[in-house]
Amino acid sequence: MMYWAHLVAMALIRGLPAWVVDPLVLALAPRAARLWDRQWQATRANAQVLLGPGVTPRQVERCLERTFRNYARYLLELVRLPGTAPEMLERGFEVRGWEHLRAARARGRGVVLLTLHMGNWDAAGALLAGRGVPVTVLVDRLQPLRWDALVQRTRRELGMQTLPVDANPRAMLQVLRQNQVLGVLLDRPLSEGGCVVSWCGRPTRLPDGGVRLALLADAAVVAAAITREQERYVVQISPPLEPRRRGSRRERAAEVMGQALAWLEPWVRAHPDQWFMFRPFWPVAPALDERRCEHARVVSAPRG
């Protein structure tokens, strides 16, 4: 179903003028999303955390409507991105902190770039590739497999390479040893494994494999926030993130995770309707106790 829906959407979006397609898609997106009830409810719960205890139900609903409208805009852009001239892509972006990524790559040991399902991460990856930065991104396996192949082919057309998140870690290490950027979407909540971290004042469990690989390979780690500001995207890249304490690799990885989340939190709170998290991010479970977050306290991360 998703495969055929994607093919039909591609044909319509690429075959019809944007002034016809876009207003219709953006208008229908929130209504269609309400039929996706489980994801709608999860997004509502996440928005309530981001917006704070004083938020009204109407404010939450408006945030949800904007979120799914922004997600529809992301999908429209993703379908149209292949074949976009590099100069046109550059016009749609402002990059702040490029010097941090350049300095990180100058070490020659690869870079793990931590970001979120926010703004348009695929377009940002295409921008890096267009600037001559080799990028490999970790991706979820989509079902059915032919839909996954279609989506990953689109990303490769944008200049990125892809690896499934459950690929052999040796393949990921090889990316870093070739001094490439390994893009990791940090916000993949887990039911087990990973590490427990505190974000926005609540504990959650996130994968830490990318950061642990960076420590193993002595690669640099940076975070990146991608937000839409009017008619263009702003990519903000952090200074390199490094553990400040000794300990096991897991403990040091958890500390770097905490730094990355601390650096990213203000951007998500300022743009909660651009964070596309359609599953429960802060599950209610006794195992996710704040006391378990001792190695991943959200500490002040360097700004830049």
pLDDT given for residue 284 in this prediction = 55
Mapping DSSP to helix (H, G, I), strand (E, B) and coil, where does residue 204 land? strand
How far apart CA 286 and CA 304 sit, in angstroms, is: 37
Q: What angle do CA 57, 58, 61 make, to 5 degrees?
A: 90
Predicted confidence at residue 63, as pLDDT, reads 97
> In angstroms, rounded to a whole number, what is the distance separating the alpha carbons of residues 166 and 281?
20
In 19-96, DSSP assigns E strands to 93-96
Going from the first residue of the chain to its last (304 residues), give the mean pLDDT of each consecutive group of 10, the final group possibly shorter.
66 84 92 92 95 93 96 90 87 96 96 97 94 94 82 89 93 96 95 90 94 96 95 95 87 94 96 96 60 44 43
Q: Considering the entire predicted model, what is its pTM? A: 0.90
Quote the pLDDT of residue 126: 94
Q: Could you tell me what percentage of the chain is helix, strand and coil, using 3-state DSSP and rounding each to the nearest 5?
A: 50, 15, 30
CA 211, CA 219: separation in Å to the nearest integer? Answer: 9
Q: What is the pLDDT of residue 287?
A: 47
**Residue 4's pLDDT is what?**
63
At residue 303, the pLDDT reads 42
- Apex CA 74: angle with CA 71 and CA 78, to 5°? 145
At residue 231, the pLDDT reads: 84
